[in-house]
Amino acid sequence: MTPDSKKSITSKSLGILAATLPLSACNWVVMKPSGDIAQQQANLVVTSTLLMLLIIVPVIVLTLLFAWRYRQSNLAATYEPEWDHSTKLELLIWGAPLLIIIALGALTWISTHKLDPYRPLDRISPQQAIPADMKPLVVEVVALDWKWLFVYPEQGIATVNELAAPVDRPIQFKITASTVMNSFYVPALAGQVYAMPGMQTQLHAVINKAGVFDGFSANYSGAGFSQMRFKFHGLSNADFDAWVAKNQAEGGALSRAAYQQLEQPSKSEPVRRYAQVEQGLYDAILNRCVDAGKMCMSQMMAVDAAGGLGKGSVDGLSRQSWRGGERTVVAAMCTPQNLDQYLPRRPPQSADRTAQP
């Protein structure tokens, strides 16, 4: 072998290596996830692709075949310039795609209802049903600028940019946002679900393998969007209990005042732990009234349903400082501090009062 041929082989090898190098950076977590819901979604992608290939591949092959057989230099090919119709060919051209469309439509209809993120799970894995006494782990998710807040109401803790759940236990996510629209996404767990201020979306999922997985926002939300990431830990029951105990031992208290500080925009926020969460905080975030001086959205809707406040509602506006400026908000008619004076006074009831129909 001459030096020139060796050099040529080396150059070709380097060229092939350079061409395949970008493929080494591919992350196949979407097609090989660790959660049952995400796996069903991956199977749906594969099934849909194969059904479409039943049409695409024959069309490509026949296109190349016709181009070769009926090329100008092939004088042996049949030449029929007056040909205009074939019933068999029409049935094949229209019948095969129609069957594929029917199959895709049925698949879409079934999977849309089966994989509805609002629908509670009916299984942990293909081989394991959910035990009758197993309750889902509830996690309240808040998308902030630019970080994630996770509240565990059952455990009484909260974390920033760290999420954990036991393996093979259903998880019910309640998702909202503080300011702008985001998208909650853990590829190994399930599909993405939008987080919107003043609204609550839901996601039911389960993780079937222990490990540490990436989570992030899949919807652009401003300057710190690219750092809006967190780690999701799939843990055994014992490890999850230890993780909860760690948060309870190391964390502080997440009050309304602390949340208002946390709500301020920040980038690359480290993990924070809270051992206590003020009661009703998530509902206040959802109703956009963490500040006691603001009227909650639920209160506004109740007032509107009762006919509104008339001209008096104009006086119900107030100004608040917000990110170096001011904004107009609807002031609350009462706050936790002066709630008693707005509650109707009831006469004392005797202990032996009989029930009225």
- Unique residue bearing structure tokens 């190349």: 64
Cα three-residue angle 246-251-253, rounded to 5 degrees: 145
> How much is the pLDDT for 192?
93
pLDDT value for 351: 42
Closest CA to 297 of 288, 306, 285: 288
CB neighbours of residue 324 within 10 Å:
5
d(CA 295, CA 292): 8
CATH code for residues 137-285: 2.60.40.420
Collapsing DSSP states into helix, strand and coil, what is residue 263?
Answer: coil
Quickly tell me which residue has 């196949």 as its tokens.
Answer: 28
* Contact call for residues 146 and 110 (beta carbons, < 8 A): no
Facing residues of 185 across strands? 216
**Residue 309, pLDDT score:** 62
What was the pLDDT predicted at 340?
52
pLDDT at 168: 95
Q: C-alpha dihedral over 143, 32, 47, 171, to 10 degrees?
A: -40
pLDDT tens, position by position, 196-211:
999 999 999 999 999 9
In 3D space, the residue among 344, 309, 349, 313 whose CA is nearest the CA of residue 330 turns out to be 313
**Predicted structure pTM score:** 0.77
pLDDT at 357: 38
Residue 355: predicted pLDDT: 41
Residues of the chain with pLDDT under 70: 1-26, 307-324, 327-357
3-state DSSP helix/strand/coil % of the chain, to nearest 5: 35, 25, 40
Calculate the alpha carbon distances from 193 to 125, 177, 201, 263 in Å: 21, 12, 7, 21
CA dihedral 268, 269, 270, 274 (to 10 degrees): -160
In the chain, where the domains are located = 28-62+95-115, 137-285, 293-339
